[in-house]
Amino acid sequence: MKTAWVFPGQGSQTTGMGVDLAELPVAAEKFQQAESILGWSVLENCRTGDNLSQTLYTQPCLYTIECILVDLLRERGERPDAVAGHSLGEYVALYAAGAIDFETGLKLVKRRAELMNEAEEGSMVALMKFDREQLDAAIAETDGVVLANDNSPLQVVVSGTSEAIETVLSKVKVRRSVRLDVSGAFHSPLMEKAARAFDTVLEPVGFSDATVPLLSNVEPTPETQADALKSRLQQQMTGPVRWREISLRLSGEGIERVVEVGPGKVLTGLIGRTCTDLTLENVGTLEQLNDRG
């Protein structure tokens, strides 16, 4: 069965995630590597949950736990036919596809989290059940707001100045809207300053060709070439997460099964509402790993 691995991003974190993996040799090694790079313990932060709501800690913790799960799936002889990740999750997808190693990815994630944590301009609001044509039109005629996360036919996130977002909301009939607890307008042009600062860290990093196709957030088509994958990642901080299109493309590429590798079931939920013909699985705990045989 042709299988894709997908990796969730910020918002999927839960207190206790990864703690059940701690005694496994591959996990213990990764936790130690992470602590030497970050200067703090991923395992301890996941155990207590004290800082998990802060971008500075959330992103490195998710990256580390998801990379450990990738290693454990590999130990069991599993391999994907394609990979994709939602926002932060794209860094894990790059690791899973062999485009970057764990330490390189974590150093990038660490700097990304620092810059995003420092962002102070704008906000993000999730919208559920809305008229898409009405929303697209409202965004098109309003400066300072973009569609940041196109997650599914019935769930998106808009990002921009608070004033612009309120203008859009006044023009669109929405069943429910939720302001996200983030420091700034992620995946929008308001992140341009942070993106420029991040590029000084990303630019000298060497990428390898991917061993399996990766569908990127800003360009949801299969890609394995190192230069193209790096270029797409450079655009990610200010560009949109086109997850709905990724979901549709996976199905179009002949993928039959999608495994969400990480805590929670956010991505399988979104994919299931977009594509009804895929087998959806989740691997985020030791029990779920062991249930795979």
Together in a domain, 159 and 256: no
User: pTM value?
Assistant: 0.96
CATH number of 162's domain: 3.30.70.250
* Range(s) of the domain holding residue 171: 123-179
pLDDT at residue 168, as a whole number: 96
Backbone torsions φ then ψ of 74, nearest 5 degrees: -65, -40
Nearest to 40 by CA among 66, 58, 19: 58
Q: Which of 131, 153, 179 is the C-terminal boundary of a domain?
A: 179
Together in a domain, 141 and 195: no
Together in a domain, 172 and 75: no
Together in a domain, 220 and 87: yes
- The phi-psi region of residue 254 (left if phi > 0; otherwise alpha if psi is between -120 and 50; otherwise beta) is left
The H-assigned helical ranges of the chain are 25-38, 42-48, 55-75, 89-96, 102-118, 132-140, 162-171, 192-202, 226-234, 243-252, 266-274, 286-290
b/e code 231-260 from CB counts within 10 Å (16+ = b): ebbbebbbbbbbbbbbbbbbbeeebebbbb
Lookup: tokens for 208: 């390898």
Together in a domain, 127 and 48: no
Q: Which helix (H) or strand (E) covers residue 82, if one does? A: strand 82-85
Together in a domain, 12 and 135: no
Q: Which residues are catalytic?
A: 87, 187
- pLDDT of the chain, 293 residues: tens digit per residue: 999 999 999 999 999 999 999 999 999 999 999 999 999 999 999 999 989 989 999 999 999 999 999 999 999 999 999 999 999 999 999 999 999 999 999 999 999 999 998 988 899 999 999 999 999 999 999 999 999 999 999 999 999 999 999 999 999 999 999 999 888 899 999 999 999 999 999 999 999 999 999 999 999 999 999 999 999 999 999 999 999 999 999 988 999 999 999 999 999 999 999 999 999 999 999 999 999 86
State the Cα–Cα distance between residues 32 and 145, nearest whole angstrom.
Answer: 41
CATH number of 101's domain: 3.40.366.10
Q: Is residue 63 classed exposed, middle or buried when 0-12, 13-18 and 19+ CB atoms within 10 A define those classes?
A: buried
pLDDT at residue 181, as a whole number: 84
What residues are paired with 163 via a beta bridge? none
Together in a domain, 132 and 253: no
Nearest to 135 by CA among 110, 165, 93, 95: 165
What residues are paired with 174 via a beta bridge? 130
Q: Which of 179, 209, 226 is the C-terminal boundary of a domain?
A: 179
Together in a domain, 235 and 92: yes
pLDDT at residue 173, as a whole number: 92
pLDDT at residue 119, as a whole number: 85
pLDDT at residue 251, as a whole number: 86
Together in a domain, 105 and 152: no
Together in a domain, 192 and 261: yes
State the Cα–Cα distance between residues 7 and 190, nearest whole angstrom.
Answer: 25
Together in a domain, 41 and 139: no
CA 277, chain centre distance (Å) = 23
**Number of domains composing the chain:** 2
DSSP state at residue 125? E
Together in a domain, 170 and 93: no
pLDDT at residue 292, as a whole number: 86
